[in-house]
Amino acid sequence: MDDALRRALEAEIETIRTDPSGAVGFGEKAYLPYMTTTGQGLVAAPDSEVTQLLSDAITQTADADDPVAALALLHVIGQRDDDLVDEVLIRALGSPTLMPTAAYLLGRVGYRGYPSRSRDEAAVTRALRIHLDDPGDFVDPFLGKTFQGRDFVIAALVRLLGVERFTGVDERQAPMVGLALPDFSDAQRTELVEQLTRPG
């Protein structure tokens, strides 16, 4: 990455940090609930160094206790066409604040505006399963809604493993699981977690 490109991308990161709430908005379609409004150079630049630049920025921003900015940067990195992105998202699962968004981005890879990436599917699903019993709520700073954080994990796993394999998802929900925002009833959540944790 040459110096001019690095400076331009660092400026995009700083723009996101300065106004993180304005960096991500509602995508106005059920299957595209989030839309980044800045950082297109960070999304499009093919060099893997850009992924590392973003990863470092996410870590620094999270360490600085600026969760909205960290989430905005996570949404940007989740749109990158780079196989190294999954490593960043899997690490982000370890942060209670970032976990739901990281799960969402891991689950919707290859669908409607999000690039496909070569990946170790088993490693991704193992990393997600660890968070099926996460009790925390996720207050989405961009949409102003509160979700059970693990609902993003459930939706991602159902999408990745194949919606058709699961009972308890109605015909209306099935095409959108893992793409739209999660909308599980208590009974659905319980049934899906039971199926996802069933041996074999």
Q: Average pLDDT, stretch 110-121? A: 90
Residue closest to 72 by CA, chosen among 114, 22, 28, 113: 22
Q: How confident is the model at residue 200 (pLDDT cuts 50, 70, 90)?
A: low
| Residue-level pLDDT at 29 | 86
pLDDT reading at 69 higher than 90: yes
Q: Average pLDDT, stretch 82-99? A: 96
| Interval 22-49: pLDDT, tens | 999 988 788 999 999 999 999 999 999 9
Q: Helices 48-63 and 67-77: crossing angle, nearest 10°?
A: 160
Q: Average pLDDT, stretch 153-167? A: 96
Helical spans, DSSP H, in 2-136: 3-18, 40-44, 48-63, 67-77, 85-92, 99-107, 121-129
Distance, in Å, from the CA atom of 3 to the CA atom of 71, rounded to the nearest integer, reads 26
Q: How confident is the model at residue 196 (pLDDT cuts 50, 70, 90)?
A: very high
| Residue-level pLDDT at 113 | 80
**Residues of the chain above pLDDT 90, percent:** 88
Q: Average pLDDT, stretch 182-200? A: 92
